A and B are shown apart, each in its own frame.
Chain A
Amino acid sequence: MATPISNLRISPSETVGTGKSVAPREWGFSETLRGAMDQVQQLQGVADGKVAGLLDGGGMDVHSAMIAVEQADLSFQLMMQVRNKIVAAYQEISRMQF
């Protein structure tokens, strides 16, 4: 029987660097993915703003708009790769024989 994707948990051990042990926070696959998507969205917002500034003659540099778009594109590609990995892992688990 397939488990909903949000029930699969990755539990990181304590945070590196801080001396005291922090109660391990549980991260679901969906939260991990959502965090990545939020960051991508933020970069896309920046790129959007710069392209808008370019198109309405707001004095935006062409190259800084292009670099922002490129950053958004690259982080989107990274997000897609992470998503592919997560889905592949999920499918691997759901195919497991009991």
Chain B
Amino acid sequence: MNLFGMLAVSGSALTAERQRAEVVTSNMANMETTRTPEGGPYHRQLVVFRSRRMSQFPALLVGFGNTAAQGVRVDQVIRDAKPPIERYQPGHPDANAKGYVSYPAVDPVEETADLMGAVRAYELNASAVQSTKTMIQESLDLLR
């Protein structure tokens, strides 16, 4: 694996963490959503990461051998199985016969912690990119 390969690995992690943050912000935005295209309240979503061998085209380009270097990608976005929260709001247009409205089971504290985690992981990988850049520049300085 050459140094550009390290950039590819860090880049895949940045993409994955961005998608994770995207899902978390979507959960935050839809905390009070009672109507969705598939009907019913919004369901909290979670990302599932999967490691990825960097053996496709860009990796060939940068010359990965059979190293253990693995990038990451979002494998799937799953729906949290938690049941919706019932709130008594008889005047609400989405209230059921008993006057209860189903709200998404999204905990703002949990989402905030998740978002912080995603942001920190993004920062970590961004600084890995920075370090890789420094390494490449150092090797270029050998020629000077």
Contacts and interface: CB of A to CB of B under 8 A. Distances in A.
A81 B140 contact: yes
B140 A77 contact: yes
A23 B133 CA distance: 39
Contacts of B136: 74
A30 interface: no
Interface class of chain A by DSSP? helix
B7 A71 contact: yes
Interface string A63-94: 11001001100100110011001000000000
Nearest to A81: B143
Interface residues of A, number: 12
Contact of A74 (B11, B14, B137): B137
Given A61-B18, A63-B14, A81 B7 contact: no
A78 B137 CA distance: 9
Nearest to B11: A67
Nearest to A66: B129
B20 to A, nearest CB: 13
Interface string B117-142: 00000000010010001001100100
Contacts of B140: 74, 77-78, 81
A71 B6 CA distance: 12
Contacts of B129: 63, 67, 70
A63 B18 contact: yes
B126 A85 contact: no
Contacts of B126: 63
Given A67-B11, A71-B7, 6 more contacts: A61-B14, A63-B126, A67-B10, A67-B129, A70-B133, A85-B143
Leading 9 A-B pairs by shortest Cβ distance: A63-B14, A81-B143, A67-B11, A74-B136, A67-B7, A77-B140, A64-B11, A61-B15, A78-B140
Interface of B: 4, 7, 10-11, 14-15, 18, 126, 129, 133, 136-137, 140, 143-144
Interface of A: 61, 63-64, 67, 70-71, 74, 77-78, 81-82, 85
